[in-house]
Every structure is written in structure tokens, then in C-alpha cells.
Chain A
Amino acid sequence: MTNEQLEQFGRELDALQNATKASLGAADRRYIQRMIRTQRAMALGGRALIFASLPLIPLPPLFLGAIGAGAITLGLSKILENMEIGHNVIHGQWDWMNDPDIHSSTWEWDNVCPADQWKHSHNVVHHTWTNVMGKDRDVGYEILRVTEKQPWKPVHLVQPIYNAALAFMFQWGVAMHDIDTGALKRGEISLRDVRGQLAGIGKKAAKQLLKDYVLWPLLAGPFFLPVLLANLVANGMRNLWSYAIIFCGHFPDGAQTFSEADVEGETRGGWYRRQVLGSCNITGGPTFHILSGNLSHQIEHHLFPDLPSNRYPELAPKVEAICAKYGVPYNKGSFARQLGTTMRTIFRLAWPSRKKPPVETVTAEAPAARALAA
């Protein structure tokens, strides 16, 4: 692609963004309001079901069925709250409504990560420096080796184990995300410098833990433990799901990483191209897309992080067509393909690379990736 073509590519994407922004209206407002109402009703309903199951304890199969349904409903509501609502509201996707109740400046989400820290680590660092080695802390989250460009260290031998631990405790990983652990390790900053951040996380986490593991169980009196376990299942479900969706965003086969030299003097068109090359979509039905917070449209989200997520499905085919026109690889695949290749990479890169890291030429359109996606 010539420079002129690259800028034309950028202008086409700009036009798509502007047209979508101009068309936002009452139907979009109804969508997010309905989503929020549904999520809150599910949270209430899930907790009610958990409590309603308690008298059934003498009948174990019935009890387990009822409390399980309650935990899953609560877990689904937490997934909706974190993914389709929280993440997107905090991005400012709904600020255009000028509604103080649904605004990035006031929204706090249902997990242990404080929204203000997330706005920095995710909205600012990750979305600006997507997949730039040494800048984007989302490349392996500073603990995993997800590309051969990262030098191998012996600790990576056990990365499949702490990868699994991260999946189960994902909200804690999200909470710690804004702490620059790399700089801490290198001694560039001290614990004193991150005291404020840690205090913020501690305060938020205390409230979250108190809610799910003390207050709600206490309300059940002698049935403290079953309620606590049901809440643990709900939070765990959300952790596993958000881990799986988010790891499919930038780590599947074909996703490219960049060096700081690559992005020097990057133009608007170049920035757009990097977002496409570094992000991966997951194919699926409407319910799957909503439960993924429309991060299944990771490419569209990275191109237009502040467009409302309910518009990503209609944008996706248009973006794919523009990418095809300019020969920019558009990485999409089934959930199994994207998650499978990600896991394979994490296991494979636990061992040192046999040869020097190759110059990155493989793209999502490579036949092998295609075959897997099909």
C-alpha cells in the first residue's frame, strides 16, 4: 500500500465513523437502557433464586439445580455488566446521550478494578499503543510470553500454570493492570509511587468482597456458606468468560505486534491499519456478541473505541470490505479457533524459541490460519 492509499484507507474509515456518529439516536438510547434494566433485573433475580433455593437443601438434586440456576443468572448479569455495559460506558461510548446516569465520568463497574485506573491503563495506554512492544502492557500483561519477540526467561516454563490461575482470578489481573509492575521490577519507581493506586484498588476490592462474601451470605443466616459459594461461582464464571473473550482480542494466530520504531511518525491511516492488524474478531450469533460486550468485534472496537458497541455488528462487514479493498488482513475466526491458537501459543512459548524470532510476515490471511478459521 502506498502512503496515499493508506491515507485513503483512513479517510474511508473516518467517513464510516462520522456517518455512524451522526446516526446515533433514540433507538440507541433504548438499547442501552434496556440492557441496563435487563442486567439489573437478572442480578436481582439471580440473588432471589439463590435465596429461594435454600429451603430445598433437604432435596439435594432440586437444591443444586435451583442454586445453580441462581448462580448462573447472577454470573450472566455480572458478565453483561462488565462487558456490554461497564467496559463500553467507561469508554465514553454513551457520553453523547448527556445522561448523568450513563456517563463515563460517573460509571463504576461490578468488579475489583476501580474505573478511574481502568480509564488510564485501558482507554489510554492500551488503545493508544495497541500491540506496541514495550508500550502496550496488554502484550502478555507483562507476565506471559505471547510472541516470539518477547525474550524467553526460565519463569515462562510455568506460564501455562499461572495463565490458568489468571483465568480464574481475572478481575484481580484487571485491577492490578494500571500498576506499572515492569517499572517496579526495574526499580524505576518504588512501591511508594503506587501507594495511591493500591489504596484505590484496596478500597474498591473491600466493598466488592464485603458485598458478595459477607453481606449477602449474612442475610441467609445459617445458610451463609451456600450463598457465599453461589456468589463465588457467579464471580468465577465472569472471570473465566472475560478472560477467554479478552485473550481472543490480540493473541490468536495472525495478530501482529509492532515495535516503537514501527509507529514513529504514524499517520491516521497507519494508526487504523495497526488497530486492524493487531486485533482479532470472533464469529458468533447475536447473544454471543452481546455477552462478549461486542469485543467479538475487537477490530471495530479498536478502530472506533467510542462508538456505541451495539453498532459494531453493522459496522463489521463494512470495515471488512474496506480492509479487503486495501489488502489489510482482517482476522476473524470461531471462538474455538481464536481461543485454541491463543492457548497453543501460551503453551508453545513457555519453551525457548528454537531459532531467532522471524521477521513478522505471517498474517491472518495465511492459509494455515484460514483453514483453522473455517
Chain B
Amino acid sequence: MAKVASIWSRLGDVASLVATPLLPSHYVQLLRPLSATHTRQARVEEIRDEAPGVKTLVLRPGRGWQLHRAGQHVRVGIAIDGRLVTRTYSISSAPERRGGCIDITVKAQGRVSNALHEVEVGAFVTLAAPSGEFVLPAALEAGAAMGEQARLLFVTGGSGITPIASMLRSLAARGAMPDVVHVHYARTAEDVIFGDELRSLAVDHPGYHLIEIHTASDRRRFEARRLAALVPDWQAREAWACGPQSLLDAIGGVYASPSHVGPDADGRPHVGRLHVERFRAALAVLPSNASGGRARFAMTATQTATDADADAATPLLQVAERAGLAPRSGCRMGICHTCDSTLVAGCVRDLRTGQTIDEPGSRVQICVCAAAGDVELAL
């Protein structure tokens, strides 16, 4: 069987040579853009206003789209001034949704999000495969109602609701809502994205408790005592958090502090696990003696080299762009590997971990690495 299959795939390879040096898919794209397989695109099917300054784009991904897991994100690209720019957005719809479409919910802030607010129905955007580990435990995803064993805590702020919305919609669609406490921060009730839907979920599902905090009237910050007051059993809950950096820093601090580690049912110190979704690379503290250097970018396409000064804190992608180069790039936050370059000589520092890379031949993510002394990279 395997042999027959391999002969068929060989024949397929030969047949596809009718389009060489392209693929048959390039010609399919002319007639049916969503049937192309060499590139991932999605068509904007519908645009909904969610809340002030927030829109949901209903996207129809093309052929080859793999279903996401609730909570995952996807890299969406759009041409701005002719240049393709991509950003990562959580998918806000549940994987159970029928009809083959996905939602991304976009707050109008930043260049790409603003551009996405301007698109019209029928436009195309690029779409990478869904990815990310900010997901529910496998058992909960599999649909098994875990009953009282599963105790969850969601802490979200503003548009950080989007991956959690996918999880809640998924749990509700499968009738598998466990014991969930959801603390959500928004400026006012009106600003709560999916506000009406969340409130009716809370009515329909006794396991789901929604706690809305409206920061326009309640200015108390997120901290351990406040969390304990809102959710007395928080330490026994597995937690997911997504929102502004300040909120993530605060909850990270709460969970990291040993004074908040309480005994669990067996009397052992225990604190629930915390999952955090960030849409910016979290950076390590730069050593005070970190210094940049001279960066040399060798372009394999033109076999020319460009030199530039690179400081210790500026990602080498930015350094290259300021030097007039246009290396390929994607997420600009160290997840997509589109900008991967090869270290020829010298040393770089990964700004997320603070670790240095000096082994020639290493792959370097230049969007999150800065020069640590002189460095030469092959783009």
C-alpha cells in the first residue's frame, strides 16, 4: 500500500511539472484564490462592530486550513502602502463553529489593527497556520465533562478576552462548562467585548461565574489580596490570563510570590498553574555591561554586504531596515521564524532570554536578537 501511495505521489509530482517553475496551485489561484495551496489566504466574509473601537472580522480560510484549538492565535497579514505586514491575533470563535469560518476580533490600535479596521468585505488577507500553547488541558478539550475536578480561573483585560472567548464558546458548545471563575477588566460595561454574550453565558451555565470590573469607576489594582477577595479558592484553580502588560505583570507577580503558595487538600504547598498569553515578546533585563557593535548583513540574493551600527537593545531586524535593507519578516516578536538568519561570525543576544548566541551557523531570529559586539549575519 505504501508503495502504491508513493508511486501515486511520484506521478503527482511529475504531473505538477506542467506548471514548472510554478505549481498548478498558482494557476488555480487565478480563478479561485481560496483553493490555492501554495499560499494561505482568507477572504473577509463579514465585519461586525463589537464594542467602541473593536471589530470582529469573519474570515474564510482557504484550502488546507487546519482547525485551531480554542485559545490559539493566528498570524494575519495585510499590505499597507504595498508592504505586507503581519500581526498575531487570537481566534475568538470556537473550533466547533460550523461553516468553515473563523473570527478575529481587532481593537483599533496600531498600524496593522487600524488597517484591518479599514478592510472591506470581499478583501483578502494572508493567514498562517494557527499556533500557540495558550489552550485548555487536553482532557477538557476532548469534551469530557470533568465535573468538580476542573476548577478554572480566567483573568482578562480589554481585548485580552479574545482567546478566552474562544475557550468559553467551545466549552459551551460542547455542553462541557466546568467550574470557571472569570475576572474581566474593561473601562465600562459598554466596553466589554462580547459583553452581552458573556452575561447570558453566565445565566445559562451555572458553572460559569463572570466578575466584571469596570476601571472607569473601580480603580483598585490587581493584586493578591484583591484576587483572594474576588476568588477565595484561586490557589486551587488552574489560571489563564490575557490582557495588557500591566495586568500580566501583576498576575505573574502574584503567582511567582512564595508567600501566596498555600497548602492544598493534601497539605502540600500548592499553587494552581498559570498560563499567560502575550502579544509582545517579554524581554529580559539587559546586563548593564551589554554593548552593541558593528553589524554586517550579507544578502544572499545579491551577494552584497551592508554594514550598520547596532546597539545592544535594538533588534537586528530594525537595524537592517534602517540600513535600507528589506529582509523578510513576519511577527516581529520571535514566534514565526520568517526572519531567521544565519550567524556567520560574532555574537548576538536574544533579548527575550538575555542569552548570547555565538556559534557560527546558528539560526538567529533577528526580530528579537540584538548585537552583542560585532556580528555578521547572512540574510
Contact = CB atoms under 8 A, between A and B. Distances in A.
Contacts of A110: 21
A211 B84 contact: no
Given A99-B84, A103-B328, A120 B30 contact: no
Contacts of B324: 21
A97 B30 contact: no
Interface in A206-258: 207-208, 210-211, 215-216, 219
A216 B18 contact: yes
A149 interface: no
A28 B302 contact: no
A95 B301 contact: yes
Contact of B30 (A44, A96, A104, A216): A44
A196 interface: no
Interface string A192-216: 0000000000001001101100011
B334 to A, nearest CB: 17
Given A37-B30, A40-B27, A215-B18, A98 B302 contact: no
Contacts of A100: 39, 84, 328, 338
B21 A97 contact: no
Contacts of A211: 17-20
A26 B326 contact: no
A193 to B, nearest CB: 18
B20 A24 contact: no
B328 A98 contact: yes
B259 to A, nearest CB: 48
B300 A105 contact: yes
A248 B166 CA distance: 62
B328 A105 contact: yes
A204 B326 CA distance: 28
Contact of B82 (A25, A101, A109): A25
A124 B303 contact: yes
A105 B329 CA distance: 13
B304 A124 contact: yes
Nearest to B379: A105
B26 interface: yes
A25 B81 contact: yes
Interface string B9-38: 000001101111110001100100000001
Contacts of A124: 302-304
Contacts of A306: 302
Nearest to A43: B27
A311 interface: no
Contacts of A27: 82
A40 B17 contact: no
B256 interface: no
Given A26-B79, A29-B79, A100-B328, A92 B301 contact: yes
Interface in B53-92: 79, 81-85
A103 B328 CA distance: 9
Contacts of B20: 207-208, 210-211
Interface in B228-273: none
A26 B82 contact: yes
Given A41-B30, A119-B301, A119-B302, A96 B328 contact: no
A98 B21 contact: no
Nearest to B82: A29
A97 B326 CA distance: 8
A148 interface: no
Contacts of B79: 26, 29, 97, 99
Interface of A: 21, 24-29, 37, 40-41, 43-44, 90-92, 95-101, 103-105, 108-110, 119-120, 123-124, 204, 207-208, 210-211, 215-216, 219, 306
Given A96-B326, A98-B329, A306-B302, 15 more contacts: A21-B324, A26-B79, A29-B79, A40-B30, A43-B27, A95-B301, A98-B85, A100-B84, A104-B301, A110-B21, A123-B302, A123-B303, A210-B20, A211-B17, A215-B18
Closest 6 CB pairs of A and B: A29-B82, A108-B21, A104-B301, A25-B81, A124-B303, A98-B84
